Amino acid sequence: MKTDSLRELIESTAQQFQQAELYYGHGTEDAAADAYYLVMCKLGLDFDCDESELEKPVSQQNVDKINELIHMRIHKRIPVAYLVKQAWFAGLEFYVDERVLIPRSPIAELIYEQFKPWVNLEQVRHILDIGTGSACIAIACAYVFPEVKVHAVDIDQDALDVARKNIDLHELNDRVTLFKTDLFNELPRQQYDIIISNPPYVSNDEMQTLPDEYRHEPKHALEAKDDGLALVNRILKQAGDYLTDNGILIVEVGNSMQILIDKYPDIPFHWFEFEYGGDGVFLLTKLQLNRI
């Protein structure tokens, strides 16, 4: 494929993606956005570049690079974030590869809003991120709460290696600390003002229906037993012991939302509504958790 300009290269890429009927659920919404993401990232260009940049010619060498990635995106269904090793979350850039999920949680919106009105900003000192993966949630929290210490935990060493890379990238080693642990098991007995988790919550049945793009993500970071609630159940039973008196727990359960409601009919989950899309994220206070 030979093009005269960056714009034509992007448009041609989008057309091929459209014809291939790809799935878009890892940071982009359609073929045009996916193509723009791939081309601009791979060529090291600013997403918000001047329109005139799009009219500049692209070298054949760069066209060849893009063609190789187009082939992988279409024929192997690899998400663009993995192809360019870059993802965005809460307005921040992160390194990603197949060792971690691609950041896409609607929890980013809550972080951006500093969890208002659920916490007193002046009293937040410690935050815990369970199942940190790329550490995107932990790092985003460290940015919006510049005085806070964040603990980020994961059971998977491969994921922690990626998390470390991102913590180094954002120069937050002094405020974001990693722990290798199965949920709370190896954590010091500390009280947190906010505990956040985006754990595995996809049931086995739902896993069978996911588009091919999800097959490139670590299965253990997506799927959970007990209709997707195995880890969520454990978090609900243990989190109260690690929260301050005014602390809150925020957990994403996605499509397992109704199963969770049915399992705990007497628990007053607060379910968030998101301006920019997404659902299946609940909040509970320490007092509410103590009733479980």
Last residue within a domain, chosen from 59, 84, 109:
84
The domain containing residue 43 runs over which residues? 6-84
Rounded to 5°, the CA angle 132-136-142 comes to 100
pLDDT along the chain (292 residues), means of 10: 79 96 92 96 86 85 94 97 96 97 96 94 94 98 96 98 98 97 92 97 94 96 94 96 96 95 94 91 94 80
Task: Give 6's DSSP letter.
Answer: H
Same domain, 188 and 112: yes
Report the largest interatomic distance among the alpha carbons of the chain, rounded to a whole angstrom: 65
* Assigned domain for 127 exists: yes
Q: How far is CA 189 from CA 75, 144, 236, 265, 266, in A?
A: 48, 25, 17, 30, 28
- pLDDT of amino acid 2: 52
- pLDDT of amino acid 3: 56
Same domain, 80 and 107: no
- Residue of 143, 198, 131 whose CA lies nearest to 170: 143
Last residue within a domain, chosen from 41, 61, 84:
84
pTM score, whole prediction = 0.94
Same domain, 75 and 154: no
- pLDDT of amino acid 105: 95
- pLDDT of amino acid 49: 80
- pLDDT of amino acid 8: 92
